[in-house]
């Protein structure tokens, strides 16, 4: 079990780990709930959740005993004693200072470790996807791609960004998405220069670039893709920028393999964009891990840490943004394999020009 790997790797002297975040509870138990506590320890583990979820949890959680959460102030110290814990770690990257103080007081004699090791170990573990996790992302991505195909026939001049975003969202939700990966981005015309523009009342018109960045969630797992389309014929400058981003994106993908430094993966895309004269117009990282969270480890950026490993699932999404004019971003998701990568995004990347 994944949780056992974490427990074994905790710093010496730490014998337990408290997991309270939604994301990590889902990861370790496979059970999604708005509240709960997973107590992992070297001598045993327990998942506590309240009356609202207890019936479903008893049926679904297989990794450890399931206990109905009633009075945490009594149950937590009792479990710590039962599992013979002297010191327990917690999610230092996810728990507020107030909650950490509360946990420390609930634990009484058992000390709460402030070490970041557990948080780092969980992040590293979650970055490497199992086959089952990859399958879920693939289903999510399939839902997003069907919505993309649909939207190509839907967009007409005069439609607002909001209308296009709503149509994408509706299609994903109607066709199996449990939820949306994030607020869908539809950025058209001058708005496409803002990487995370919010869809508004702007009406798409001939010559516009339209950037669509969206994803679906399936069984807790996210997908993420970006395509930039045009309505009618774009200017030659727009075509040049699109070609540059596409060249960078394809080169970035092609470079992916185990052992490649995350910074080096970023540099592949960044160098091409810099050489084309648009270095200052690419102000974000090249990519990020995707899974239970839309952004997770590893990070492909100039400050990204570590190297790619088999099982990492990352986006490659360079862009060029010219303030007050237009922007282009193209994004695929890629799974790092033994020799290179598998592209999980099948939608076409050649510039699609929609009829006006
Ligand atoms: Mn992304």
Q: What is d(CA 71, CA 69) in angstroms, rounded to the nearest whole number?
A: 6
**pLDDT tens, position by position, 307-326:** 999 999 999 999 999 999 99
Break the chain into its structural domains and give their ranges. Answer: 2-127, 131-354
Is residue 292 a contact partner of residue 27, using CB atoms and an 8 Å limit?
Answer: yes
- Specify the pTM: 0.96
What is the distance in A from the centroid of ligand 1 to the CA of 142?
16
In the prediction, which pLDDT does 228 show?
Answer: 98
Residue 90, SS3 per DSSP: strand
In the prediction, which pLDDT does 103 show?
Answer: 97
What is the distance in A from the centroid of ligand 1 to the CA of 182?
10
What is the distance in A from the centroid of ligand 1 to the CA of 317?
7
What is the distance in A from the centroid of ligand 1 to the CA of 126?
17
Q: What is d(CA 319, CA 299) in angstroms, rounded to the nearest whole number?
A: 16
Is residue 143 a contact partner of residue 176, using CB atoms and an 8 Å limit?
Answer: yes
Is residue 11 a contact partner of residue 113, using CB atoms and an 8 Å limit?
Answer: yes
What is the distance in A from the centroid of ligand 1 to the CA of 287?
6
The answer on pLDDT for 201 being more than 60 is yes
Adjacency order of strands within the sheet including 216-218: 179-180, 216-218, 221-222
In the prediction, which pLDDT does 225 show?
Answer: 98
Q: How confident is the model at residue 4 (pLDDT cuts 50, 70, 90)?
A: confident
Q: What is the mean pLDDT of residues 121-141?
A: 97
**pLDDT tens, position by position, 248-267:** 999 999 999 999 999 999 99
What is the distance in A from the centroid of ligand 1 to the CA of 224?
5
CATH number of 2-127: 3.40.350.10
- In terms of Cβ atoms closer than 10 Å to its own Cβ (0-12, 13-18, 19+), residue 61 is buried
What is the distance in A from the centroid of ligand 1 to the CA of 200?
20
**pLDDT tens, position by position, 7-55:** 888 888 999 999 999 999 999 999 999 999 999 999 999 999 999 999 9
Q: What is the mean pLDDT of residues 276-304?
A: 98
The answer on pLDDT for 1 being more than 60 is no
What is the distance in A from the centroid of ligand 1 to the CA of 27?
21
What is the distance in A from the centroid of ligand 1 to the CA of 35?
28
Of the candidates 38, 66, 39, 72, the one whose C-alpha atom is nearest the C-alpha of residue 54 is 66
In the prediction, which pLDDT does 25 show?
Answer: 97
In the prediction, which pLDDT does 5 show?
Answer: 83
What is the distance in A from the centroid of ligand 1 to the CA of 252?
14
**pLDDT tens, position by position, 85-102:** 999 999 999 999 999 999
In the prediction, which pLDDT does 44 show?
Answer: 94
In the prediction, which pLDDT does 3 show?
Answer: 80
Residue 185, SS3 per DSSP: strand
∠ Cα 151 317 325 (to 5°): 70
What is the distance in A from the centroid of ligand 1 to the CA of 297?
12
Contacts of 353 (CB under 8 A, 6+ apart): 229, 230, 231, 232, 233, 234
In the prediction, which pLDDT does 347 show?
Answer: 98
Where does 247-329 show beta strands of DSSP type E?
287-289, 296-300, 313-316, 319-322, 326-329
Please count the residues of the chain.
356
What is the distance in A from the centroid of ligand 1 to the CA of 315?
6
H helix or E strand, kind and range, residue 40: strand 37-41
What is the distance in A from the centroid of ligand 1 to the CA of 234?
25
CATH number of 131-354: 3.90.230.10
Question: What average pLDDT does the structure give for the chain?
Answer: 97
What is the distance in A from the centroid of ligand 1 to the CA of 208?
22
Report how far apart, in Å, the C-alpha atoms of 165 and of each of 168, 199, 327, 346 are: 5, 7, 18, 21
What is the distance in A from the centroid of ligand 1 to the CA of 22?
21
């Amino acid at each position: 079990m994944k949780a056992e790997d974490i427990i074994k790797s905790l710093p010496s002297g730490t014998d337990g780990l408290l997991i309270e975040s939604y994301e990590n509870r889902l990861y370790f138990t496979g059970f999604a709930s708005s509240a709960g506590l997973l107590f992992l320890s070297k001598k045993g583990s327990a998942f506590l959740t309240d009356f609202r979820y207890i019936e479903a949890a008893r049926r679904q959680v297989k990794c450890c005993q399931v206990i109905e959460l009633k009075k945490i102030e009594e149950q937590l110290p009792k479990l710590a004693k039962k599992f013979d814990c002297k010191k327990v770690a917690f999610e230092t990257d996810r728990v507020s200072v107030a909650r950490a103080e509360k946990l420390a007081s609930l634990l009484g004699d058992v000390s709460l470790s402030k070490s970041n090791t557990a948080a780092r170990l969980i992040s590293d573990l979650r970055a490497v996807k199992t086959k089952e996790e990859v399958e879920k992302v693939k289903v999510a991505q399939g839902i997003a791609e069907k919505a993309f195909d649909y939207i190509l026939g839907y967009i007409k001049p005069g439609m607002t960004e909001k209308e296009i975003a709503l149509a994408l969202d509706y299609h994903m939700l109607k066709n199996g998405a449990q939820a949306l990966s994030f607020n869908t981005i539809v950025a058209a015309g001058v708005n496409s220069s803002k990487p995370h523009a919010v869809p508004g009342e702007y009406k798409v018109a001939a010559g516009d670039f339209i950037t669509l960045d969206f994803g679906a969630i399936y069984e807790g797992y996210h997908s993420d893709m970006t395509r930039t389309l045009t309505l009618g014929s774009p200017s030659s400058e727009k075509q040049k920028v699109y070609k540059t981003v596409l060249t960078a994106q394809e080169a970035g993908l092609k470079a992916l393999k185990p052992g490649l430094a995350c910074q080096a993966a970023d540099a592949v895309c960044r160098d091409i964009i810099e050489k084309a004269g648009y270095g200052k117009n690419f102000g974000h990282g090249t990519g990020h891990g995707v899974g239970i969270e839309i952004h997770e480890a590893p990070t492909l950026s100039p400050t990204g840490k570590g190297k790619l490993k088999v099982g990492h699932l990352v986006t490659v999404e360079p862009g060029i943004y010219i303030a007050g004019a237009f922007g282009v971003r193209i994004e695929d998701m890629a799974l790092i394999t033994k020799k290179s990568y598998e592209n999980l995004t099948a939608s076409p990347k050649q510039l699609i020009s929609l009829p006006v």
